[in-house]
Amino acid sequence: MKESLASTTILGKDHTGGVPTALTLDLLRLQGEAMTLGQRAKIVGRFSPAEQIDIHQEYATAQAVFWKKWTVFRCSQAGEGDPNFGDVQKVLGVNRYFAREIVNPEAGAFIVDLGGGSGTVPASFTKQQREGLAGCAIIDNNDLLAEKAEQRLKRMSIANSRFINHDLADGSLPEKLSEIISAAKPSHVVVTTNWSLYFLDAPTRTLFRSCLDPKVIGGRPSRLVANCITVGKFDREKLKQGFIKHLPSYLARFPKTTFRAIQALKQMEQFADELTETTILRTAGEFETLMREAGLTIAAVNPTLLWGQSTAITAVK
Ligand SMILES: C[S@@+](CC[C@H](N)C(=O)[O-])C[C@H]1O[C@@H](n2cnc3c(N)ncnc32)[C@H](O)[C@@H]1O
């Protein structure tokens, strides 16, 4: 018998990324106007086939427009151009902590950075970690970033490093990736993703499955290390409190950058608002579920980044 739409539960209890829990599809339709594109995209499978096609197209277009629009603000480095996200990140130190302490690549590792932007993760390693790498591939489909990322990697003297312009939204990895990895002769492969992967569930699962597939990484020891927003949205009050609490130490360590970070805060809020409107923001729990469904095992979860607002998950095959 056909499933009654009216009684279809939309989301389970773990899904707290901004979509109300336990709504029926009919209720959801009634509230359709109020749902953001990101929310509709997150539950796309619940819509009719025709609606699904529309949501897919609308989502893909909005994502491309969004990331291009915010390229300069979101992917500039601290001190570069106008006050930007990089200044805020440098002050907060979350990228440094994620890259150095959690990703913490061993000598001989090859880094694959999914949605890697201008190379924030490799650029945040210590000099020693960077010099020990066998190679690095940043995969991102924003061509405005290619030159910036390549120059940054060159400055960092990371061996065998490159930016690969590739769209990950359908869950596919670049065809030449396995060849690139094997040419670098790494001892390990570490796949990272820092606040990226805003794709639909199915391609995200495919991506998780294939990024640790021996066909891609050549059977070397490997892990996936993802940093994501803990509850799928930042609590601004908590971020503000944490920032104010640590302000004296930030000012003492990075006076210029801290002033720039303060100047960037208004735009940060605007960026975060637009991100929430257009994008699938998954909770850490949802990322873990997708990883398990992709056949991975969760090896470690660190929920302490950014005063608990961000969570790093390490998974292995
Ligand atoms: C929040 S930024 C994170 C960038 C970088 N990981 C960092 O920590 O600075 C998200 C990145 O995902 C990339 N992205 C968005 N959609 C993508 C897609 N379909 N394929 C590949 N990359 C994509 C964007 O261009 C952007 O650089």
Q: Which domains does the chain have, with CATH numbers?
A: 5-69 (no CATH), 71-233+269-316 (3.40.50.150)
141 C-alpha to ligand 1 centroid (Å): 7
- What is the strand order of the sheet 109-114 is part of? 161-165, 135-140, 109-114, 188-194, 222-229, 310-316, 297-305
pLDDT digits (tens, 9 = 90+) for 14-73: 333 444 444 556 666 666 567 889 988 988 988 999 999 999 999 999 999 999 999 999
pLDDT at 135 over 50: yes
In short, whether 141's Cβ falls inside 6 Å of ligand 1 is yes
The mean pLDDT value for 209-229 works out to: 97
Instruction: Among 65, 66, 142, name the best residue to mutate to test ligand 1's pocket (greatest count of ligand atoms within 8 A of Cβ).
Output: 142
* 257-268 exposure pattern, b = at least 16 Cβ within 10 A, e = fewer: bbebbbebbebb
| Ligand 1 atom at minimum distance from 121 CA | 8
* pLDDT tens digits for range 236-283: 999 999 999 999 999 999 999 999 999 999 999 999 999 998 999 999
Among 6-20, 90-104, 262-276, 285-299, which is the least confidently predicted range? 6-20
> From the CB of 194, is ligand 1 less than 6 Å away?
yes
Ligand 1 close to Cβ of residue 117 (< 6 A):
yes
Kindly indicate the confidence band of residue 156, based on its pLDDT and cuts at 50, 70 and 90: very high
Pocket test for ligand 1, best of 196, 227, 275, 278 (most atoms within 8 A of CB): 196
Instruction: Report whether pLDDT(136) > 80.
Output: yes
Percent of the chain surpassing pLDDT 90: 84
Q: What is the pLDDT of residue 25?
A: 63
Quote the ligand 1 centre to 140 CA distance (angstroms). Answer: 6
Determine the pLDDT at residue 28.
Answer: 65
Range with the lowest mean pLDDT among 9-13, 27-31, 104-108, 253-257? 9-13
What is the per-residue burial (b if ≥16 Cβ within 10 Å, else e) of 184-210? bebebbbbbbbbbbbbbbeebbbbbbb
Distance of CA 194 from the midpoint of ligand 1 (Å): 8
pLDDT value at position 8? Answer: 37
Distance 115 CA to ligand 1 centre (A): 4
- Residue to substitute in 118, 140, 165 for testing ligand 1 pocket (most ligand atoms within 8 angstroms of CB): 140
